[in-house]
Amino acid sequence: MDELQEVWVYLNTTPLLHLTLTLLAFQGANWLFRKCGRTPLLNPVMVSVVVLVAFLLITGTSYGAYFEGAQFVHFLLGPATVCLAIPLYRQFEKVRKSALAIMASLFVGSLTAIASAIGIAMALGASQATLSSLAPKSVTAPVAMGVTEQLGGLPSLTAVLVILTGILGAMIGPVLLTKLGIRNEAARGFAIGTASHGIGTARALQLGEVSGAFAGLAMGLNALATAILLPLLWGLIF
Partner 1 sequence: MLGALTLIFTCQLIGETTTRALDLPLPGPVAGMVLLFIYLAVRGGISADMSRVADGLLSHLALLFVPAGVGVMLHFRLLGEEWLPIAVALIASTALTIAVTAWVMHLLTRKSGDQPDG
Q: How far from chain centre, in Å, is Cα 187?
A: 19
- Give the up-direction half-sphere exposure of residue 164: CA atoms within 13 A in the CB hemisphere: 10
Cα separations (Å) of 40 from 36, 68, 153, 171? 10, 30, 31, 5
The distance of closest approach from Cβ of residue 24 to partner 1 in the complex, given in angstroms and rounded to an integer, is: 11
The rounded distance, in Å, linking the Cα atoms of 43 and 36 is 11
The rounded distance, in Å, linking the Cα atoms of 44 and 170 is 10
Q: Which of 38, 156, 237, 238 binds partner 1 (CB under 8 A)?
A: 156
The distance of closest approach from Cβ of residue 236 to partner 1 in the complex, given in angstroms and rounded to an integer, is: 18
The rounded distance, in Å, linking the Cα atoms of 32 and 148 is 36
Q: Does 208 bind partner 1 (CB under 8 A)?
A: yes
Q: Does 238 bind partner 1 (CB under 8 A)?
A: no
Q: Does 203 bind partner 1 (CB under 8 A)?
A: yes
Q: Does 202 bind partner 1 (CB under 8 A)?
A: yes
Question: Please, which of residues 40-79 interact with partner 1 by CB under 8 A?
Answer: 44-46, 48-49, 52-53, 56-57, 63, 66-67, 70-71, 73-74, 76-79
Question: Please, which of residues 1-20 interact with partner 1 by CB under 8 A?
Answer: none
Q: Contact 162/140 with Cβ under 8 angstroms?
A: yes
Q: Does 94 bind partner 1 (CB under 8 A)?
A: yes
Residues 102-141, one symbol each (x = binds partner 1 by CB under 8 A, - = not), give x-xxx-xx--xx--xx--xx--xxxx--x---x--xx-xx
Q: Where are the beta strands (DSSP E) in the chain?
A: none
Q: Does 172 bind partner 1 (CB under 8 A)?
A: yes
